[in-house]
Amino acid sequence: PDPDPDPDPRLWPATLCVVTGASRGFGRSLARLLAPRLGRGSALLLLARSAAPLAELAAELRDGSATGLRVEDVAADLGCEQGLRRAVAALREVLSGGPFGRLLLVNNAGSLGDISKSFLDFSDPEEINSYFALNVTSALCLTSAALRAFGKQPGCGRTVVNISSLCALKPFKNWVLYCSGKASRDMMFQVLALEEPDVRVLNYAPGPLDTDMQLLARTETGDPGMRQFFQSLQESGQLIDCSLSAQKLLKLLEEDTFLSGAHLDFYDL
């Protein structure tokens, strides 16, 4: 490979970037914005449960790269042990093709849970544990594995992003699983920021996005008032385009002035 630095100073040199939940919605939009920023020697690892749209995105980003970006896609259900192991193995395999000067891990994968139910309807431990396995446990395990595998290297940066939500701070009726999961993840990453001061940690709430998840919110939420609230967001054009919110996150990462562990919302910026 050409040892000369990329002529464009805006490109990130030799970065390993990992995006979970990359097959659709916010993750897909973010991956599309990140790929052109990754300079020579960089790699992009895309993780999601849906194999076909993930492979399609990876092919698109490979074909569109001017720097020979290595793009790997791994279909894995992070909510189960086997899927998590597959993701970690893929991460280590990509790392072996380094060296990389920077690690960027975006924990975006997540689910709503059954929003037709109220708090008192949740009595099945298996359903609850399954939800937290995907939405909390996998983010902790994958982040821990990634940071350990990349290691502390002089002059190398490590950044971890948690895609958060207003629901991490505020309770919503019928969203007991989602709110609990988001609050748990925010606190989890605040602890990481405290324990590992050389790792840059950001909890980014992307705002009410125009996604399949929002469609579920306004059609399946059990509480009528909440359903109406989400419907009014859509009808009044207040839902945010994924690429617009992803651009704000990219700007935050490029400026790199946020307080590590902070919770920043789309509307704060």
Over residues 192-207, the pLDDT tens digits come to 999 999 999 999 999 9
Q: What is the pLDDT of residues 96-154, one digit of tens each?
A: 997 999 999 999 999 999 999 999 999 999 999 999 999 999 999 999 999 999 999 88
Q: What is the pLDDT of residue 153?
A: 87
Closest CA to 181 of 161, 164, 205, 195: 164
Q: What is the pLDDT of residue 9?
A: 66
Q: How far apart are CA 42 and CA 59, in angstroms?
A: 16
Residue range 15-207+241-265, CATH number: 3.40.50.720
Q: What is the pLDDT of residue 1?
A: 46
What residues pair up with 160 in beta bridges, in sequence order?
Answer: 105, 201
Whether the Cβ atoms of residue 52 and residue 25 lie closer than 8 Å to each other: no
First to last CA, the chain: 39
The residues spanned by each domain of the chain are 15-207+241-265
**Residue bearing tokens 């400026």:** 255
Enter the pTM of the model.
0.94
Give phi and psi for 188, each to the nearest 5: -55, -45
Residuewise pLDDT in 10s, the chain (269 residues): 444 555 576 789 899 999 999 999 999 999 999 999 999 999 999 999 999 999 999 999 999 888 889 999 999 999 999 999 999 999 999 999 979 999 999 999 999 999 999 999 999 999 999 999 999 999 999 999 999 999 998 889 999 999 999 999 999 999 999 999 999 999 999 999 999 999 999 999 999 999 999 999 999 999 999 999 999 999 999 999 999 999 999 999 999 999 999 999 999 98
Q: What is the pLDDT of residue 65?
A: 83
Spacing of C-alpha 20 from chain mean position: 5
Q: Does residue 206 come out as left (phi exceeding 0), alpha (psi in the -120 to 50 range) or beta?
A: alpha
Whether the Cβ atoms of residue 175 and residue 131 lie closer than 8 Å to each other: no
Q: How far apart are CA 128 and CA 147, in angstroms?
A: 28
Half-sphere exposure of 199 (CA within 13 A, CB side): 25
